[in-house]
Amino acid sequence: MTLIGKILTPDHILLDLDVASKKRVFEQVGLLVENTRGIARSEVFDSLFSREKLGSTGLGQGVAIPHGRARGLKETTGVFIRLKAPIPFDAPDGKPVQCLFVLLVPEHATDLHLQVLSELAQLFSSRQMREQMLGACARDELYKLLCEWTPHA
């Protein structure tokens, strides 16, 4: 199983989320993580927003990997989001973003999150995978796709 498969659960996949800004995405992630992991939504939002102020986590090609450290979080967790419509994200190519993988790590995280970021960058660099993520009809299909994907050596 990939690192992505180890930190993602089916209930952390949001399909066709209808929001118009980064801020709204981060609010929705905060709400989800508060409900599933017991971490205050404000902690999650502030962590993601302050990281984003340092520079956009948009990679280009319609994808982004917002990430941050959250106090109280016991283990690294991920949230995959496919937006109903792309939103501006200040990506290097200027294109709006429709697929996001939000990575939250404990406050005193090891370098595991760097390995996960590397794996996510590889995943999102595959045009075929981006197309499959956009075309998936159901949460289970997307979960399987993300967990069974294998990084190239």
Amino acid at 65: I
Nearest to 17 by CA among 79, 105, 104: 79
Active site residue 108: no
CA pair distance 30, 48, nearest whole angstrom: 9
Q: Which residues does 65 contact at the CB level (< 8 Å), separation at least 6?
A: 57, 59, 100, 101, 102, 103, 117, 120, 121, 124
Catalytic pick among 67, 108, 113, 152: 67
Q: How are beta strands 58-60 and 63-64 bridged, if at all? A: antiparallel
Q: Which residues are known to be catalytic?
A: 67
